[in-house]
Structures are given as structure tokens and as C-alpha cells.
Chain A
């Protein structure tokens, strides 16, 4: 079977999307391509965002491939799956452009994972994959529609009935291969994600060493795979890293939800000519391991910190397992060896704003960057959504979005100060 894997040309105007708007490597599509090729299929990755091609050019390129199946991402990459754009404007437009040219249309991403029926209806695709898509796409590529009932973690419409089979899928990271990106892709990737210490001196790349996080961060949309922490084998990570370095990469961003303290990995990074950025939970790291992280070449830490609580651990959500003082001490310690440390303050709707502002000022004075608390979007499937409205239904995204822009009239560091309503954003996209 011939498969096209499409990262559409993302636009974010009017969106409340908080993530980085630069192109990043679509690593989920990269894994899918490798697994599909390993299974004997022909797979082509079309990264319209990175190449700056519009929908017309995208349609022409996909049509020329004559694929039997086309996969479209509903969020820019795994890096953004934790906090995706709430609207489906771009994937809806991509599906509309590719219908009739791409064979079986399959959507992958956070929307279908949280609200599969709504995503099926909005996008008008043939199949939605729930959760991590790589291995499911190989099953889909080898199956006829009459065999879809055997495939886990998909949603599809047959004979006017929506079928949703199982919950979000968690891929086996031990079997995912070391990714290979061609020289042109790497050369194009000049953006160094979350790097502020130096002017980029060469291309960058995103990688991952693990998925999953046992923490229940209020704003995280990936609540379905919360408790399973999965690591890629070190040999695979290093194989991929060395291939990137051979292509000229100077900087790597590890997109792990929670970059883990791993002495063996850090010592291997130390021995290589590369600098890197991470996102981590600072309370998982000892001072010694933070020192090693800095020596290994870490130039940027984004430490997600929810509003600190004087009492420390929240027994229900297990958020913030360290006290404010201990978190502060760890952040300041990290800053001794890492040039940029950010305490990423998010407002999950609890705690005292004055206390947070005071803490922010204290961190700034100690050399740790702390943004103004950004109101956390209650992503369907996240604890913040579930606490307020229960399990997400087909109107979950509209409900969360309407609540968000109504509640937060001042938007702090938000990129667009006047976000548009979700229905307006998605209107006319199809």
C-alpha cells in the first residue's frame, strides 16, 4: 500500500494556542513512515508546514503520489499534543483539499483521542486514531475496511454508525526505530526550540527519549496515558542522535513531557558535540543530577510549575510534590550550570495570585525566568476539564473554548489578545 503522511500548513491567527508556532520535526509521522516501510508499504512524508507550501501545492503533491491512504495530523507534532490548538481549522481545510486525492483519509492527533466522534464529524475523515498513532497506522495500512473491527484505538463511521473501538493507544517505545531525517529536512530546521542563550549556529532537531508522565498536570490534554512512563532504549536514542549530528545538527530539543534524570544518557550526551533543551519536573531531579544535566550540554530548561502551595503536595492530584522553598532552591541550583531556566507558571485556577506574583518576582531576582501565569486551557480530557464538566462529550472543545475566552479577559502572555470563538475559527474551513 502507498501511504502519504501529511503535516498540514499550520496557521494560528485568532487562536488561543500557547505553543511554539515554528515548525518542528513531525516525529510521530517519522516513526509511522519507518514502521510502514518496515512492513513493506511505501510511505511518503509531506511536511507542508516546514516547507511552507499551501493547500493547493499540498493537494497537487499528494495527488501526484496517488496514495491509497493519507494520514493528516490534527496538531503540529507530539511537541504540541500536550497543549494543541483547540480549533480544527487547518486539518479540516487539509482534509477538504485532499478528499478525492488521498485515498482513505485518516486523522491522528489529540482531538480525535479526546473526542473521537466530534472529530470524525468535524473533519469528515474515514478513520480517526485514538492516542499514539504509529503502530495503529501500520495495522490500518494492512487491513480492508471490513477488518477495521479488529483494530484497536480507532473510530470510524460505517453504515451511518460511529464505531469507537477502545481508548487512546500507547505505543511500544522499545520497538520504535531510530529516526532518519534527510539532509534537506535538517538543513531547513533552523529553529532552536526554547533556546535563548545563544544565536543558533546550525540546524536543530527534536527527539524524544520517553513518553508518558505519572503527573496529573491540570492543563495536560493527554490524560489517557498518564500513568505509563515508557522509555526508548538508550542505543536507539544514541543511534538517532548520531545520525542527526552527522547531518549537521548542533542543537536538540527533547520533547519528552518529562525529561527524566538518566545518568547513562547524560554521560553519552556529555561526550557529544551537541547542546540541548528539555522540559522537566524539577522536583524529580537531585542537585547532583542537575549539575550533570548542565555539564552534559543542557542550555535550556522549561520546568512546568503549577501555582505553588504552601502545604506542598495536593493529596488528590499529587501535584507539586515539593514545597515552594524546595522548588525555588532546585530552580536556582539548575541555573548555576544551565544558561536558561524557566519556571513555567500556569494558572490552574487554584491558589493565591498575589502569592504567585511574589514568587515570580523572587525567581526573577534569582536569575530564573518566570513568565506571568498563563491561564491554563481546560483541554477536554485534562483534569481541569474533568473537574469542571466531567467526561468530555461531542461539544467539549466548544464548551472549553467559550469558557476560556469568557473567563480570561486579560490574557497575559497569550500570543493573540483577541482570540476568536471556536465556531468562528472553524467556520468555512471545510
Chain B
């Protein structure tokens, strides 16, 4: 049941009592979803979290279980950006509609695009964490090949159907408009991702450069770090999975010290001690790992992207992703200049604390209010569709 909002800065507005939120187990979507669900819970909004893309780790499941009022519903449907996903996307759509029928949310929050076109009775908010087309353009410097036409059409359809579209940076919102057409006046909103500052905090710094991210993702550009690492006075330590969802992966070069995938407490431990965090990314709509590093007080060396400049402003050094010499110069400068390094680390943490889950939840409540005002929940469907067995393993 929608209620009156007591969490936004403006006048009182309607807010949902229960949100059906999709999430996946890949990348930063899970992290954002869990931070948001916790903050919404503190604001009195319950979340039903519908997981796709594979099983959750025990630690992730425990984190979800600790959130009051959160209901976790798991499946293993392939995600829309994975190879040959469409049968799974269709089955997941039926599963989500059934779920909506059962939990009766006031609002559907989709951390993906295609399912926004489903006939949900509740208003739907789409969050654009990233997209294949803008990823391809940033990484390969040309439009995505024709085999992604179906993806383009389905994403565009989802964006058109959404009552509100949220992106973590204005740069990402702009990229969406470039790839799929203008969103329309007042439908696009920027809400930066957030992280609880108590999960990541600085410790006495040690002389190493840290990087984190999926090694197989070309957007992370860890190849640039491999090139410069042998010429740095400090070791470069990298945390992140080296196996892509399809099973194909990319191993870190020998010049990097690879930790493989690490869980959140271990990641926080490494980041707390790292003096420098490097992410010479080619594509980063926000950069969740960068936020975690900034909260940990690392001096940031980042790819020179509009999105990262928008988020970090003067609290980082920026290098062109393809310029290994510039990356080396920036890292070497910070390795040698302790005062600059410490000042930049302190600046990064001061900037990072602004991206708080509480603020994120409040902004989402504002957008939810806009969506609720634009389209109150429709009456229940008379004949719910049949629910074919999903190819994954739903827990509930």
C-alpha cells in the first residue's frame, strides 16, 4: 500500500510499502541492490528481491537474510546481456509476473531493461547500470555489431515502457539516450550508487597499487596495468574473477599479483591497506569498486571518462585509457610523492562519504513517488498467465 513519504526533501509524496526488485549475481548490481534494500528497509519499505543470473554465494545470502522485511527469491535465468539469452528472458518474464501476482508490490524496480515491457500492474522503474551497446562503443570505439539488434530493440522497448529511468551518472543517462533514443522530458533521473562507509574504511597504508574488477571484462582495461606494472616501484595487486559467465576467461599477466575472486570482507581488508587504487577503465557508468576504494582512503588513478570525472571531480588523477605512459607517470608520481598521495586519498574519502545508502534510498523514494504519481497501480489481472517451470532453480 503506497503511503506518504517522510524521506524526501520536498513536500510529502506517495511512497511504496513494498517493492519488487530484480537483481543479478554479476558485478555491482547485487551490491547496489542490497545496499538499497537495507536503506529502504530502514525507511519502512519492504523489498522482495528477485535474483536471476545464477546462484548466490552463502555470504550474499546471509547479507540478504540480515535485512529486515526482505524476501529473497532466487533463480538462475540467463541475463539479457549474456549470450543467447532470449528463451530465459521470456521465462524470467513469466516468473516475474507470477511473483508480482503473489507479492502485490506497489512498485517494480528493475535492475535490467527488457522486463520493463511486461504487463506489470504496478509502476515500474528501470535502473540503467550499464548496457551492451554503450559498453561496445566505449571498448571497441565503434557501434555494436548487427547481432545485437534484437538486444537494442528489447532494451528500447523496456525503456519506453518504464515510468522512470534511473542511471548512476548523467554520463550513463546521456549514453542511453544516444543508443536508444531520447527518454522524454522528466523520465530520466541520476542517482549515484552508494556504499555504507562503515564497510570500507582506511587503515595504515602500505606500499602497493590495488585494482579490482572482472579480469575478463575488457572495459576494466587491466591490460594497461599489466603493461606498466613491471616499471613501477610498488607491486600491483588485482582482485577479481578471471572466468566470464560463459566459462571463457582471461588470466592476469605475470606482472600483476592476482588474488582471484575475493569476498567483501577480504576486499575491504586489501583496500584499507592499499595506498593507491588504479582503474584505467574504458567504460564505467559509475564504478562501484572505485567507490569502495575511495571509502578506504586510497589515492585514485582512474580512466579519463566523463562518468568518472562527474563522480570524482578533483578527488582523483585521470589518465586516457590507451595511454600506458600516462598511466605509468600518474602511478609513479603518486608512488614517489607521499604527501600528494595522502592528500588525494583523504580527498577521495571525503568525496566518497557523500554517496551514502541513506541518500541513495531517499533519492529512489523521490523517483518512486514520481512513478507512483504518474501511474497508480493498475487493477489485478483477471487471468494470470501460466507459469512454466524455469530452467533455473527458484528457491521459492
Chain A residues within 8 Å of B, Cβ to Cβ: 202, 239, 242-243, 245-246, 248, 266-267, 270-273, 288, 291-292, 294-296, 337
Contact = CB atoms under 8 A, between A and B. Distances in A.
B6 A246 contact: no
A270 B351 contact: no
Given A246-B346, A273-B353, A295 B9 contact: yes
Contacts of B201: 248
Nearest to A249: B353
B353 A295 contact: no
B8 A295 contact: yes
Contacts of A337: 6
Contacts of B69: none
B214 interface: no
B354 A272 contact: yes
A272 B356 contact: yes
A205 to B, nearest CB: 13
A100 B267 CA distance: 53
Interface residues of B, number: 23
Q: Is the interface of B mostly helix, strand, loop or mixed?
A: loop
Contacts of B8: 295
From DSSP, what is the main secondary structure of chain A's interface residues?
A: helix
Contacts of A266: 9
A242 B351 CA distance: 7
Contact of B6 (A271, A273, A295): A295
17 contacts: A242-B354, A246-B349, A246-B350, A246-B352, A271-B9, A271-B359, A271-B362, A272-B353, A272-B358, A273-B356, A273-B358, A291-B12, A294-B6, A295-B7, A295-B8, A295-B9, A296-B9
B357 interface: yes
B391 to A, nearest CB: 40
Given A242-B351, A296-B9, A270 B197 contact: no
Which among B8, B198, B354 has the highest number of chain A CB atoms within 10 Å?
A: B354
Interface in B316-375: 346, 349-354, 356-359, 362-363
- Residue of A239, A246, A294, A296 with most chain B CB atoms under a 10 A cut-off: A246
A239 B358 CA distance: 19
Nearest to A180: B346
A133 B28 CA distance: 50
Given A245-B353, A273-B197, A295-B6, 12 more contacts: A239-B350, A246-B346, A270-B9, A270-B362, A271-B354, A271-B356, A271-B359, A272-B353, A272-B358, A273-B196, A273-B358, A291-B12
Nearest to A238: B354
A273 B194 CA distance: 10
Contacts of A270: 9, 359, 362
A237 to B, nearest CB: 14
A245 B353 CA distance: 6
A273 B350 CA distance: 12
- Of A242, A245, A273, A296, chain B has the most CB atoms within 10 Å of the CB of A273
Contacts of B363: 271
Contacts of A202: 198
Given A270-B359, A271-B359, A273-B359, A246 B353 contact: yes
Contacts of A248: 197-198, 201
A273 B346 CA distance: 18
Q: Which of A239, A243, A267, A270 has the most CB of B within 10 A?
A: A270
Contacts of B349: 246
A246 B354 CA distance: 9
Contacts of B346: 246
Interface string B198-210: 1001000000000
A337 B351 CA distance: 29
B310 to A, nearest CB: 16
A273 B357 contact: yes
A292 B358 contact: no
Contacts of B359: 270-273
Contacts of A291: 12
B44 to A, nearest CB: 13
Nearest to B349: A246
A381 to B, nearest CB: 39
A291 B356 CA distance: 22
Contacts of B358: 272-273
Nearest to B363: A271
B31 to A, nearest CB: 16
Among B196, B197, B351, B363, max chain A CB count under 10 A is at B197
A326 B196 CA distance: 41
Contacts of A246: 197, 346, 349-350, 352-353
A266 B9 CA distance: 8
A296 B358 CA distance: 11
Contact of B350 (A242, A271, A292, A296): A242
Contacts of B6: 294-295, 337
B362 to A, nearest CB: 6
A295 B201 CA distance: 27
